[in-house]
Structures are given as C-alpha cells and as structure tokens.
Structure 1
Amino acid sequence: MPAPRGTWRFTAPTADHAVPRLRHAVRDLLERQPVTVPRETRDTALLILSELVTNAVRHAALLSPRIGVEISLEGGRLTVAVEDDHPYRPKALEAAPLDESTGGRGLLLVRVLTAEAGGVCDVTRTGTGGKVVWAALPLTGAL
C-alpha cells in the first residue's frame, strides 16, 4: 500500500482556545487518512502541535493576531509546522532551568520528542519576517 500523501493548512486566532481546537482538527484529519498513521507518531505529533501553538499564543500574539498550521504527509514523514508573524527566533533551552518553574520548556520538549522519534525540527524565517517552527517525524509504521 502506498505511503500517505497530502498537505493541509489551518488558520486560527492567536488565542488560548486555538490550542485544543487545532489539536482536535489535526487528530481528526490524521484519523481519516486511508493509511493509518501509527498511534505513537500521531500522539507525538499532537503533543508537538500543542506545544508549538501554545508558544505562538504566549509569545507571538502581540505581533501575530493569527497563526497558521500546516500538516504534511509526504516522503514517509509527518510534518507539523506552526507559522506566526513574530520575528523572534526561539531557541530550545540547552538544559532544564535550575529553578522549579513549570514554564519555559516547550521547545525543549519538542526537540526531545522529535529526536526520540528519529525526526528533525527547526525554525525557518518566512518571506514576511515571521517564522515557522516545524517538526518532521518518520512514519516507519505506516509504510
């Protein structure tokens, strides 16, 4: 059976309610694919999506009233990308913060989850000065 293929785009306001709405929309999209996306890959992608959208809501809303989400199934990979208009390029924390705060670890979590799945993640600039934060996970179980 051939590997799944396709690209889907969603937009949402940069607001707290976008996180669960986008997560549910992407979950439903992945569940409707003709070839099953492995559950572990799907769950990892949904957690990554939640972290990236939450980061955009918390850090980009002032300069980016809307965010874009792109989901791609191509070349044996599931790619999750979140775009906003804020020019700041986030960096993953090199190590966990020394204090006991519960915030500030979202991008580190994305990097760890992506690496554990055998994928890659990065941040790229858009032509309009914003950024896209993305993670690509292998679909080894779907091929």
Structure 2
Amino acid sequence: MTPRLEALPLRHVLTMPTVGSAVRLARETAEMVLTEWGIARRHPSVDPALLILSELVTNSVRHAAAVSGNVTVIYAAGKDTFAFAVHDRHPYQPPLYAAGTGNTGGGLATVVELTLFLGGTAVVRGDADGGGKSIWITLPL
C-alpha cells in the first residue's frame, strides 16, 4: 500500500515559467533532490520517473501555458516511496486511466503504463477553486 503523501518526510518545491526549458529544469531538479535524499541514480525507478516527469511537464507547457503562467513540481520521498506532482492552473483534468486503456494515445498513456508497471499510482487532483490541477505520481523504491 502506498503511504499517504502527507507522511513523506522529504519535500522540495520548484515553480517555474510554463516554457519549454521547464522540462529540463524539472528533470535536473529531480536528479538533484534524489541524490540529496540518498536515492541512487541507477535505481530502477529513477529513469522511468524522469520520463514520466518530463511528459507531465511537457503537457503543461503545451496545453496549459496560455492560461497558466507557471508550472509547479512538488517532489516528495520517504524510505520506500518517491512521489511528485506537476501542477498548473489549466482547469482541464485529463482522464489518466482512460489514457492507459488505449482509448486515447500519446504521452499520458505512457505515463500510466510506466507508473502501473512499476507498481505506482497516478492521480489527478483538482484545485479547490476548479481553476487548476495537480497530477500526482507515486512510485515504490
């Protein structure tokens, strides 16, 4: 069972403009915090996590930039869990698990397939005001 996100003791938040360079910065920051937190770069979940993160930030840049000037990535970890969220202020909440069933193609299908293959979870959480959302990915370590 995945621990509650609030229980993960390690946190880092990165907010940046919703532009193409955000993808590289999000990945570099993930690599930095994982190293600081003692999670080996060669851990089998790290490369897929970086791919998933890149895809989610790319989606924010491509689809939310017109209404969301910033994208925020929240990184969190515990003893056996790495989690991250990509947040933007676009109100559309994509159906993640429909993407994984073959009903739609593209990057979200890859996100869901990799997440599930690794034994993780993917959840979309809308902002309280309905004006944005976060996509949370939780992966076991």
TM-score, L = length of structure 2:
0.84
Question: What's the counterpart of residue 102 of structure 2?
Answer: 95
Whether the 8 Å CA contact 1:14–1:61 is kept in 2: the answer is yes
Amino acid at match of 2:128: G
Cα deviation, residue 88, structure 1: 0.3
Corresponding residue SS for 2:137: strand
Cα deviation, residue 35, structure 1: 5.0
Cα deviation, residue 109, structure 1: 0.5
Is 1:135 equivalent to 2:140 in the alignment?
no
Cα deviation, residue 43, structure 1: 1.1
Cα deviation, residue 75, structure 1: 5.7
Corresponding residue SS for 2:68: coil
Q: 1:130 & 1:25 partners in 2: Cα distance?
A: 23
Question: What's the counterpart of residue 4 of structure 2?
Answer: none
Whether the 8 Å CA contact 1:120–1:135 is kept in 2: the answer is yes
Question: What's the counterpart of residue 78 of structure 2?
Answer: 74
Gaps of 5+ in 2: 1-7
Q: 1:71 & 1:13 partners in 2: Cα distance?
A: 17
Matches within 5 A, 1:1-143: 5-34=9-38, 36=40, 39-74=43-78, 76-92=80-96, 93=99, 94-95=101-102, 104-128=105-129, 129-139=131-141
TM-score, L = length of structure 1:
0.82
Gaps of 5+ in 1: 98-103
Which one has a bigger Cα radius of gyration? 1
Corresponding residue SS for 2:27: helix
Q: 1:122 & 1:58 partners in 2: Cα distance?
A: 20
Q: 2:20 & 2:108 partners in 1: Cα distance?
A: 18
Corresponding residue SS for 1:40: coil
> CA distance change for structure 1 residues 37 and 7 in 2, over 3 Å: closer, same or farther?
farther
Cα RMSD (Å): 1.9
Amino acid at match of 1:39: H
Matched residues, number: 130
